[in-house]
Amino acid sequence: MLSPLLYTAPDDAVEATVLDVLEVGLSAAFGLSVQRLSRSRPPEGAWNARRGQYDASERLQAVGGFVPADPARVLGVTSRDIFLPGLSFVFGQAQLEGRAALLSLARLQQEFYGFPCDTLLLMKRACTEAVHELGHTFGLVHCRDPRCVMSLSTTVNQVDAKLPEFCGSCRILLHESTGMATLSSEPSRDEEEHP
């Protein structure tokens, strides 16, 4: 069994079934095992009553405090809506080449937009954006390929247009950054589509 090098740090309201699927997706994407840390409540200082949202930077800083001593990455997972100054919301935030990332499920849920609950769609979106945010911690920046998991998403439609995997270029960059052999063991989409 692989050593746990990826951790999830859920808040007190994230459903266990969503976390289970998310952790399987992260393990597959990065070739690392994933371990779940204890649930926690968001820091009180992160709440912005005027906006009715949580400050993503404050939440990310709190997630950074959960990073274990080993060379790991931690993904905070919250069900609450988050924002950054100058932006009305974000799906997540990460420390570029750092060790902490944050994912919000709030706007990935169909109910947020007035539609019936769709758990399968939520799980697909959550996996996609979780891989995206953790990709930043491994040094990846936004990709121009709209299908790549590392492409920028400012709307849920852009999230839906992405695949929950790296394009060939980003896969190579990630492999070079981490040296993880598992990342280069499968052909990329580009290689499959252009033999």
Catalytic residues, which ones? Answer: 133
Q: Is 83 strand, coil or helix?
A: strand
Note the Cα 161 to chain centre separation in Å. 16
Cα-Cα end-to-end distance for the chain: 34
Report DSSP state, residue 151.
B
DSSP letter (8 states) at residue 132: H
Residue position matching structure tokens 């779940």: 36
Structure token pair of residue 162 = 């992405």
CA dihedral 32, 130, 121, 149 (to 10 degrees): -90
